[in-house]
Amino acid sequence: MFLELKAQAISILKDAIRKVGFEIEDSELYFETSSHADLTSRAAFRLASLYKKNPKEIASRIVSAIEIPDGSYVGEVNASGPYINFRAGRHYLNRTVAAVLEEKEKFGCGAPKDRILLEHTSANPNGPLHVGHIRNSILGDTLARILKRAGHDVEVQYYVNDMGRQIAVVSWACERFELDLSRKSDAAIADVYIKANSELDKNPEYVKEIDALMENVEVGDIRTIERFDKAVFMAIAGIKETLLRLNVVHDKFVNESRFLKSGAVHDIVERIKATGRTKTDKGAIVVDLSDYGFEKTLVIQRSNGTSLYTTRDLAYHEWKAGQADRIIDVFGADHKLISGQLRATLNAIGIKEPEVVIFEFVSLPEGSMSTRRGQFISADDLFDRVTEAALEQVETRRPETAYEFKKQIAEMVGMGAVRYDIVRVSPEKSTVFNWKEALDFEKQGAPYIQYSHARACSILEKAKEEVTWNSSGKIDSSLLIEDSEIDLVKKMAMFDSIIDLAARELKPHVLAIYARELADAFNQFYRFVPVIASEDEEVRAARLALVECARIVLANSLDTLGIEAPESM
RNA sequence: GGGCUCGUGGCUUAGCCUGGAUAUAGCGCUGGGCUUCUAACCCAGACGUCGGGGGUUCAAAUCCCUUCGAGCCCGCCA
């Protein structure tokens, strides 16, 4: 809705500027949202420097030339100093309410767009997901949901490292130490992986055994491959369980090894060689990317002839490039350099490059997390404690409800809090994990938004019982005239532009902030405007429709954030 | 040592790319509000050298330079 309001404002402003004899590019209209109006233009500043005149004067001249066509979403335009302020009118508000009621869960969806292949999480199968990994999962999954709602055809993939050095260590560890099968499978893998690493540190001669395993896999030794697969399967099974609980969905899990088996890795090495930018360095093949600004060469084949993660990743990206219009990868900050080199190499051989979304690290007060050293907080551990804390809250707030209900709400609230807490901060900020903050539900986070949704549901439920109300009957939304009603409608109308912005800039946190502001607007309306107790039947119907709208947009926002929307809590 | 990212009230954080109207919000703090649709709520208040210094500009949290602090990277690991 807001996008249409803006389009109309642009057209009205351009006409007026032309009429007073100025010329300006569309990109110089300088539209922005501000607290002074629904939409503001700073075009007068630009015209002032172009025509050497006073911006205030220009603004007032333009405003006096403004003509608002009948039926426009723009209600009024005025100048405030050099600013040209646009206020949305009744048509806009009425149309927004009607659109939400018509489109329901589809409200805010964009027109069909191109196909995107998005990769996220892709953690090594050497243990359970930890709180650092889930920043990747939550960012990636929310991004996928936003892109889908924006209209893109999105496929999400998890790239499984099933043959690297770390997996060789895992496989070696599984032979050497006994797996504790009473534990979750990924946790059992981590246990032996950690033991193996300390063993390897103590006795470096074991490294030869790891090298041998990797060479066996590279040449296709069945027995070694089976051993790798078994370990990878156990870790991935556990990881999938964790992701399921987080409400994170992947369409495909793609194994690295398939690109070796298919010959794609060999082929891509040949193609890179053909560019003439490779040379041999102590028996290894390296790529010179200095013209792309990389001082260090990139190794794509070890001196013993085996491939590296990077080589297989190049083949993977070639494969992905053939299946979609855009490729998006969500990677941790440690991949900044390597992803730059990957893009440069792909570019050098004429393959579509991925767009890389980087997020900074989540560390512990005692330092950065490491599966290898056993220094991490597992996602499962966080989920258990957070839902446990949520259960305590439900028990004190809703003591009369059944245990099953409490459990269910605690899961929704706890997991929602985890997702919201992570997605609300921009990815370029590094953070330190803190139990006290992670378990705090008092702040305005997911539960606040979920609570608003439950409140809306509760009003609608009560309306069905207590008053005659036909939810599909005609309503007159012109009766919504209170400030808090108008603010709420305007906030709902912003949803499409927020989705558009978040999708265009690949920034999920703007949606998180929006959802909180929407809940805010609803709570203020709830506080100041009686719905069921409205004396006038027409007004009550209009307000009930507004509550239904708020419920829908809150639910859509939560859904796009991957957070459950409880009807009661 | 070199590269990238971050630095905004006591804590967490938006805005920075694309410079403009009193710098966003939450937690915490102070005070107020449940005989009315769920108080996981609402209202009011205090708290700011936008890390420091220079520069560009009519105008800088935003752009440029410099400096300090934190994180990440600089493997024939992933």
Q: Which nucleotide is nearest to A302 (CA to C1')?
A: B76
Q: Alpha-carbon distance A73 to A8, whole Å?
A: 7
The string of DSSP codes covering A481-506 is -SHHHHHHHHHHHTHHHHHHHHHHHT
Q: What is the pLDDT of residue A464?
A: 86
* Strand B proximal to A393 Cβ, under 7 A: yes
Q: Angle at CA A327, nearest 5°, toward A322 and A333?
A: 140
CATH pick for A379-560 out of 3.40.50.1000, 3.90.550.10, 1.10.730.10, 1.10.1040.10: 1.10.730.10
Q: How far is the CA of A436 from the C1' of B51 (A)?
A: 27
Q: Which residues of A137-168 are buried (b: 16+ CB within 10 A; e: fewer)?
A: bbbbbbbbbbbbbbbbebbbbbbbbbbbbbbb
Q: Alpha-carbon distance A418 to A502, whole Å?
A: 20
Q: What is the pLDDT of residue A468?
A: 67
Q: How far is the CA of A478 from the C1' of B45 (A)?
A: 36
E-assigned strands of A316-378? 326-332, 355-359, 362-364, 367-368
The string of DSSP codes covering A132-195 is THHHHHHHHHHHHHHHHHTT-EEEEEEEE--SSHHHHHHHHHHHHS---TTS-HHHHHHHHHHH
Homologous superfamily (CATH) for A2-88 = Arginyl tRNA synthetase N-terminal domain (3.30.1360.70)
A78: part of which helix (H) or strand (E)?
strand A74-80
Dihedral sign computed on CA atoms, order A198, A199, A200, A203: positive
Q: What is the pLDDT of residue A456?
A: 96
The string of DSSP codes covering A94-127 is HHHHHHHHHHGGGTTPPPP--EEEEE-----SSS
ipTM: 0.95
A321: part of which helix (H) or strand (E)?
helix A309-321
Three-state SS for A418-446 is HHHHHHCCCCCCCEECCHHHHCCCCCCCH
Q: How far is the CA of A295 from the C1' of B74 (A)?
A: 10
Q: What is the pLDDT of residue A366?
A: 87
Contacts of A144 (CB under 8 A, 6+ apart): A118, A120, A154, A156, A249
* Strand B proximal to A280 Cβ, under 7 A: no
The single residue listed with the structure tokens 């996220």 is: A120
**Full pLDDT tens readout for chain A, 569 residues:** 999 999 999 999 999 999 999 988 888 899 998 888 999 999 999 998 888 888 999 999 999 999 999 999 999 999 999 999 999 999 999 999 999 999 999 999 999 999 999 999 999 999 999 999 999 999 999 999 999 999 999 999 999 999 989 999 999 999 999 999 999 999 999 999 999 999 999 988 999 999 999 999 999 999 999 999 999 999 999 999 999 999 999 999 999 999 999 999 999 999 999 999 999 999 999 999 999 999 899 999 999 899 999 999 999 999 999 999 999 999 999 999 999 999 999 999 999 999 999 999 999 988 899 999 999 999 999 999 999 999 999 999 999 999 999 999 999 999 999 999 999 999 999 999 999 889 888 777 899 999 999 999 999 999 888 766 777 778 899 999 999 999 999 999 999 999 999 999 999 999 999 999 999 999 999 999 999 988 888 999 999 999 999 999 999 999 999 999 999 99
Best CA proximity match to A524, nearest among A488, A567, A566, A565: A488
A40: part of which helix (H) or strand (E)?
strand A37-41
Q: Determine what percent of chain A falls in helix, strand and coil, rounding each to the nearest 5.
A: 55, 15, 30
Query: Would you state the torsion angle of the CA atoms of residues A230, A231, A233, A236, taken in this order, to the nearest 10 degrees?
Result: 180
Best CA proximity match to A411, nearest among A376, A444, A446, A378: A446
For the segment 211-240 of chain A, residues whose CB is within 7 A of strand B: none
DSSP letter, residue A291: G
Q: Which residues of A541-564 are buried (b: 16+ CB within 10 A; e: fewer)?
A: bbbbbbbbbbbbbbbbbbebbbbb
Best CA proximity match to A324, nearest among A136, A147, A149: A147
Question: Angle formed by the axes of helices A483-493 and A509-528, to 10°?
Answer: 160
- Class for domain A120-363, per CATH? alpha beta
Best CA proximity match to A439, nearest among A399, A381, A400, A397: A381
Best CA proximity match to A131, nearest among A337, A425, A368, A356: A368
pLDDT digits 0-9 by tens, A117-166: 999 999 999 999 999 999 999 999 999 999 999 999 999 999 999 998 99
Q: What is the pLDDT of residue A444?
A: 77
DSSP letter, residue A353: P
Contact A279, A238 (CB under 8 A): no
Q: What is the pLDDT of residue A466?
A: 76
Q: What are phi and psi of A298, to 5 degrees?
A: -110, 125
What ranges do the domains of chain A cover?
Answer: 2-88, 120-363, 379-560
* Strand B proximal to A289 Cβ, under 7 A: no
* Strand B proximal to A336 Cβ, under 7 A: yes
For the segment 407-446 of chain A, residues whose CB is within 7 A of strand B: 409, 413, 424-426, 428-431, 440-444
Q: How far is the CA of A120 from the C1' of B2 (A)?
A: 30
Q: What are phi and psi of A51, to 5 degrees?
A: -110, 5
pLDDT digits 0-9 by tens, A289-335: 999 999 899 999 999 899 999 999 999 999 999 999 999 999 999 99
Contact A143, A508 (CB under 8 A): yes
Nucleotides on strand B lying under 7 Å from protein C-beta: 3-6, 12-15, 17-18, 20-22, 25-28, 33, 36-43, 58-59, 70-78
The single residue listed with the structure tokens 């959802």 is: A515
